[in-house]
Structure 1
Amino acid sequence: MLHRVKEAALREVFAEDEKPIEYLPWYLTAFSDRNRGTIANLEQDESGNFSRALVALDPAWFGGGQAIFGVDAAHMKHRLYNGVQIVLVARDGNFQNRVAAVALAPEDHANYL
């Protein structure tokens, strides 16, 4: 009984509006349409749930840079999604780091890096 009360309270506290996630495919398509050369992709599993996403900016934006890139991955800890955020960073001509791509993946795996 106490377990059900606790779960009900946690569901209420961490309740999220599911409507914004329904707009994600449209947002990614609109972003890539408005930024030529940019890749935006969303994948869903067999049941239609979010699986992974990728946003990669146009490589021409980094043409004047130092051609130095780095990858970082951070494990996400969330009640509803425990995936990995992978970020590709490029160094520009002013020695500033610029995000070149961001991906959300279900696990830390060499296929995603």
Structure 2
Amino acid sequence: MLPAARPNEAAAHIAGFVDDLNALVRPCILARVDAVNDLERKATAQSFDQFVQWWLDEAADHPELVYEARRGSHQPALLAGFDDEDPETAGWSTLWSLRDVDAESTLFLEL
């Protein structure tokens, strides 16, 4: 949605597109939440705002911030794998695909 935010290196430059992020992306997310469960709107808005503020702080602290660092590099990254247990990884814990979101469950069929 935001061309300025597309490159990996753009994570460090959020200050240049934060207004567009709040004006364009935030309303889309909140509209989707309203369509699914409007009771979650307030909590989602607060989470979005907290994440954006954290992102601004990270970008201010790390001018070389990227969305995803190359494997093996120690470059600061905005996002980290949800199951990444490296103590030096400080990014936002992120599930990378819907396969990560889907939990397995055991089914017992009683006849």
Could you state the TM-score of these two structures normalised by the residue count of structure 2?
A: 0.28
Could you state the TM-score of these two structures normalised by the residue count of structure 1?
A: 0.28
Greater percentage in strand: 1
Bigger Rg over Cα? 1
Larger RCO: Structure 1 or Structure 2 (Cα < 8 Å, ≥ 6 residues apart)?
2
Greater percentage in helix: 2
